[in-house]
Structure 1
């Protein structure tokens, strides 16, 4: 089945998925966040075929998520996360926390993240409003504007939630 092209979508989730929305890319990023930089180490950790790994790494380089640096050994190169790549840390952490909460039985072994300084798990991630309230999906309204425009110029996107708000007067 062919997927529709999302590269020009106005939805940031759609565009993000075109870059990092497959399991191999997310596993590569997970391992990179934990210090893996070498092709053979990615392949060994993930268990992916060389051709697939090569394609995904090249895409991530082309997208500016990795830079290629000459290895200190001089006979190969390292894939080093850029600032854009490191900014995916929160995304991966949110997936980790969701998976820990919903996909494991209490008796199963699970790889958990802890603060290297304290040994304690991080607080659960949450989307917070400017006033400190935790936002749920019911609290979110999608608006659209040019990225460079102030939010006050944005227009509300027609979604089922918007239509519900109009009919209930909320």
Structure 2
């Protein structure tokens, strides 16, 4: 079965997955968030075949998540996160927190991210409404509009949840 192109979907999750939706890409981005910039270092840390790593890095450059800069060592180049790439930090942090919460037994070793300044773990990431409430999936409604339009111009999307209302 041929996979459909998610890059033109009206769903932001689909479009995000079209750019970063595979295991290797997420591991590359995880390591980049922690300072890895060189091909050989990504290769050592992830253990990915060079041709696959090269293809993933090229795609991340093509979609504007990385930019290539000359290495300070002068003998190669580095993959440096752009603003778009750095914005992915919260997504990876949410994924890390979900994994910490649901995928480890109490006696298992895991890596944890902490605030470098305080040594404390960050607060749990959550969606907060304008009025301060923490939003659950049941609180959310899908609407459709052009990206540049004000939210007031949006039209509700027909979903199973909407049918129950």
TM-score (norm 1): 0.96
Matches of 1:105 and 1:2, distance apart in 2 = 38
3-state SS in 2 of match to 1:68: strand
Deviations 1:18-44 (A, max 9, x none): 000000000000000000000000000
Runs of 5+ consecutive residues of structure 1 not aligned to the other structure: 166-170
Are 1:50 and 2:47 matched, yes or no?
no
Deviations 1:107-153 (A, max 9, x none): 00010011111111100000010011000000000000001000000
In structure 2, the partner of 1:13 is 13
Matches of 1:60 and 1:90, distance apart in 2 = 18
- Return the offset for 1:2: 2.7
Matches of 1:19 and 1:124, distance apart in 2 = 26
Q: What is the root-mean-square deviation of aligned Cα atoms in Å?
A: 0.6
In structure 2, the partner of 1:168 is none
In structure 2, the partner of 1:130 is 130
Report matched runs for 1:23-62 at 5 Å. Answer: 23-62=23-62
3-state SS in 2 of match to 1:40: helix
Number of aligned residues: 165
3-state SS in 2 of match to 1:7: helix
In structure 2, the partner of 1:92 is 92
Matches of 1:83 and 1:70, distance apart in 2 = 18
TM-score (norm 2): 0.99
Matches of 2:112 and 2:155, distance apart in 1 = 41
Are 1:152 and 2:137 matched, yes or no?
no
**Which of structure 1's runs of 4+ aligned residues deviate more than 4 A?**
none
